[in-house]
Structure 1
Amino acid sequence: EYYDPNLKSVLKQASMKDKTVIITTLNDAWAEPGDNFTNEAFFMTPTYLHMMWRRIEFLGAVLHLGYSFVFTDTDIMWLRDPFKQFYKDADFQIACDYFNGNSYDLHNFPNGGFTYVKSNARTIWFYKFWYNSRESYPTLHDQDVLNKIKMHPLITTKKLKIRFLSTSYFGGFCQSSKDFAKVATMHANCCVGLENKVNDLKIVLKDWKKYMALNDHKRKNSHPSWSVPKSCR
C-alpha cells in the first residue's frame, strides 16, 4: 500500500491518546481570504466524484495505519462534544439525512459528511470494499454507493457493526434537532451552493449564541427553534 511518507507522522502528532484523529477536507481555493467560492466543486461533476472517492481512499489509509477517526465535513457546525453521543460497541457510525429512530436499521438514510470509525480489521476491509465498489457504480458518488452496499451479505459475514446516529444529536437542514439541550452538531445538508450553506450556518451560530446566553433557569424553560433553513430552502 502506498501512503505519503509524512502521513504517519502527521497522524501521530494530531491524534488523541487513543489514536483517534478528527479529519476534515478543504479545497485550497476555499481557504483563501475573501474567496468568492468560484472554485467550488459542483455536485456530481467528474471533479466532485474524484474528490469524494479520493476521500474514501484516504480515510481507508488512515484506518490501515491504525488510527480511528471522526470525519466531519466543513459545512457541519460543532456545538457540543460529539464523543459523548457515540456508541461504544460500533465499528462504523454515520450521521443521517433522515433518521427513523432505530440506530441499527439499515434503511436509514446516511450522510457521509459525518462519521466515527474505529480502526480494526473489519473497518479496514470495509473501506477497501466501499472504495472498490465505485467500479460497479461508476456514475454514483460515495454516499449513494454506500446505500447500495450497506445490505451486502459480505458486511454481515465480516460482522461489521454499523450504527446510525440520531438527528436529535447530529441534526441538519434535512432533519433538524428539535432539542437545543441535546444537539451536538448541525449539518448544512439538503442545501445546494456554498454561499447558501455559509449564510445559513451563520444563522445557526446566531441562534445557538442566543440560546447559550440564557441563564440555566431560562434555558431549561425555553423552547427555542432554529431560524434555518433560509438561503437553503
Structure 2
Amino acid sequence: MLPEAKVLHLRRTVAASLFFATVSLSCLVLFRDVNSHRFFSTFPSSYTFYGLPSIFPSAYNDPVATSNEYPLEKVLNEAAMKDKTVILTTLNEAWAAPNSVIDLFLESFRIGDRTRTLLNHLVIIALDEKAFARCQVIHTHCFFLVSEEAYFNEEAYFMTPRYLKMMWRRIDFLRSVLELGYNFVFTDADIMWFRNPFPQFHHDADFQIACDHFTGSFDDVQNRPNGGFNFVKSNNRSIEFYKFWYSSRESYPGYHDQDVLNFIKVHPFITVIGLKMRFLDTTNFGGLCEPSRDLNQVCTMHANCCFGMDSKLHDLRIMLQDWKHYLSLPPSLKKLSVVSWRVPSKCSLDSLRYLDSPEKSVQE
C-alpha cells in the first residue's frame, strides 16, 4: 500500500491531467467548427465517405461516377471478381418491363454453360427510377446513374439527339469505371450469354470488342466493331483511350460512339498511347448481323441489326429456344452441329434500309 500522502498526490496529478486534456479537446473542437465548412465544401454534397479515397480521386468529383444513394465504387467492389473485373449493362424503363429484354438477358445467364455464377459479378446500371426499382427486385447489384442532362426512361430512337446523348453518356461512364481501377465487360442487355466468354478473350489486349462483321483476323482494323460488347482492362492506356474516344464526339458531331470508334481506330493517337486493340471473332461472339456458325463454340449472341422492340423480343426468344434445344441433344448430335440458328427472323437484315428513319427504334 502507498502512504496516504503519495496517494493524494497521485490523485491530484491525474485530475490535473484530465483537466488539461478536456480544455485541449474543447479548443480543438472549436477550431474544427470554425474551419469545417471551408473543409467539407471541397467535396460534392452527395459524397458519402466509404473507406479511404480512391487512387483516382478525380472520379469522386465526377457526377458520372457518383449517385446520391449508392456510391459507384461501393457497388463495384461488392460485385467485382478477385482481379477487380465486373460485368456491366445499362437498363432503362423501356427494357425493364416484365417479360422484356432484361428478363431474357438474365435467363440466358441462368441456362448458359458456366454463366450462372457470373451473375454475382453483374452490375445493372439503371438510367431512370423505374429501371432502378425493377433492378432491385430482380438482381443484387444495381446502380442508379443520375443524369442532369437527359432522362433516358423511354426507348431511344436511333440517331435522335436523346439517343446520341445516351450513347455518349455510356462512354463517359465507362471511363469513370476504369479510373476507379476496375476492369469491365460491357454488354448490352439484348445480348444472350450462352457460355462463359472469359476463356475466349485475348490475354494481351487492353481493349477488345465484338464485331458486326469479322474479317477473320483479330488485329485487322477493317473489322466492323460493335460497341455493345467489349472487355477493357483498367490501365493508363485504356483510360486515355476512353477520354480520346469521348472527346472525339466533338470532331464528328452527329455521329454515335460506334461510328466514331470506326473513325478513330486507325488514328495515330492509338499508337502513341500503345493501346492493344483486338477484335472478337463472330464465331464466338455472334449477332444477327453475322450469326455465330457453331453452337458448340458460341459464347454470346447479340440482337444487333434489328429495329423495333417487338422484332427484337421475337428473335431473342427464338435464340433462347434454339439454345435450349441444343442443350437437350445427346453429345453425339451436338458434335455434328446439326442445330443452327433460326434467326434472324423478324429482325431481317432487310430492315437495315430503314436505318435513317426516325420512326424506327433501335438499341444496338
Partner of 1:33: 98
1:127 alignment partner AA: Y
1:99 alignment partner AA: F
1:107 to 214, 222, 231: 222
Give the TM-score of the pair, scaled to structure 2. Answer: 0.62
Would you say the 8 A contact 2:212–2:224 is kept in 1?
yes
Larger Rg: 2
SS in 2 for 1:147: helix
Note the C-alpha offset of 1:34: 6.5
In 2, the alpha carbon distance for the partners of 1:194 and 1:116 equals: 26
What does 1:146-165 align with in structure 2 at a 5 Å threshold? 146-165=261-280
1:31 alignment partner AA: A
In 1, the alpha carbon distance for the partners of 2:99 and 2:300 equals: 26
Partner of 1:65: 180
Percent sequence identity over aligned pairs: 61
The structure carrying a bigger helix percent of its residues is 2
What does 1:133-172 align with in structure 2 at a 5 Å threshold? 133-172=248-287
Show CA shifts across 1:174-215 (max 9, x none): 111111110000001111112211110100111111111011
Answer yes or no: is 1:175 the counterpart of 2:240: no
Answer yes or no: is 1:123 the counterpart of 2:188: no
In 2, the alpha carbon distance for the partners of 1:148 and 1:9 equals: 35
In 2, the alpha carbon distance for the partners of 1:116 and 1:34 equals: 28
Show CA shifts across 1:62-91 (max 9, x none): 000000000000110000001110000000
In 1, the alpha carbon distance for the partners of 2:307 and 2:191 equals: 14
Note the C-alpha offset of 1:169: 0.1
In 2, the alpha carbon distance for the partners of 1:33 and 1:100 equals: 38
SS in 1 for 2:90: coil
SS in 2 for 1:62: helix
Answer yes or no: is 1:14 the counterpart of 2:129: no
Change (3 A) 1:157 1:207: same
Note the C-alpha offset of 1:31: 1.2
Which structure 1 segments of 5+ residues have no match? none
Query: Which deviates more, 160-169 or 188-197?
Result: 188-197
SS in 1 for 2:254: coil
Higher relative contact order (CA 8 A, sep 6+): 1
In 1, the alpha carbon distance for the partners of 2:91 and 2:182 equals: 20
Note the C-alpha offset of 1:132: 0.5
SS in 1 for 2:91: coil
Which structure 2 segments of 5+ residues have no match? 1-57, 101-152, 349-364
Provide the alpha-carbon RMSD of the alignment.
1.5
Answer yes or no: is 1:4 the counterpart of 2:56: no
Note the C-alpha offset of 1:222: 3.8
SS in 2 for 1:25: strand
Change (3 A) 1:141 1:222: closer
